Amino acid sequence: MRPAEIAAEFVARINAHDVVGLSELMTDDHLFIDALDNRGVGRDAMRAAWNQYLASVPDYWIKVDTILQEDGTVALFGRAGGTYAGRIPEGQSAQWEVPAAWLAEVRRGRVAIWRVYADNLPMRRLTGLEQE
C-alpha cells in the first residue's frame, strides 16, 4: 500500500473505533503529537490513550476531504468531531466539530508519526479545562 492509503486506513480504523487495528498500523515507536504539542510515544501507550479518548468521545469521527502525499509524508485535511461523554458546563452542547488537519509519516507500511492540527478549544471548554 502507498503511504496515502495507509494514512486513509489509519483514519478508517479511528472512525471504526478499532483500537487494536489502529495499533497494528503503528510502528513500535509511534509518536502522536496533538495540537498543543502534547506527545504520546509507543504503540502500547497510544493504544491506552486511544481507548481513554474514545471513552470520553464515544462517537469521535474524522472526515477527510483532501489527502496529499510526498514520499512517506501524508497530509490530510478535513473535519473532526464527536460528543463529549463527561459532565459538561451548563448551557453547552456536548457535541463539537472543528476543521482539522493531520500529518502522517509512514515508514515500512506503518504510521510512525501522527500529528494533529486542530482547534481543540471546543473540547477543552467541554471538559472544563478552558473557560469562556
3-state secondary structure 29-50: EEEEECCCCCEEECHHHHHHHH
pLDDT digits over 120-131, tens only?
766 666 666 555
Residue length, the chain? 132
Region 42-52 average pLDDT = 96
C-beta separation of 121 from 99 below 8 A: no
- CATH code for the structural domain at 3-118: 3.10.450.50
| Mean pLDDT in residue range 26-43 | 96
- 66: buried, middle or exposed (CB in 10 Å: 19+, 13-18, 0-12)? exposed
Determine the average pLDDT of the residues in 49-69.
96
94 vs 123, which has greater pLDDT? 94
Specify the pTM. Answer: 0.89
Q: Give Cβ neighbours of residue 102 (< 8 Å, ≥ 6 apart).
A: 7, 11, 62, 75, 76, 114, 115, 116, 117
pLDDT of residue 7: 98
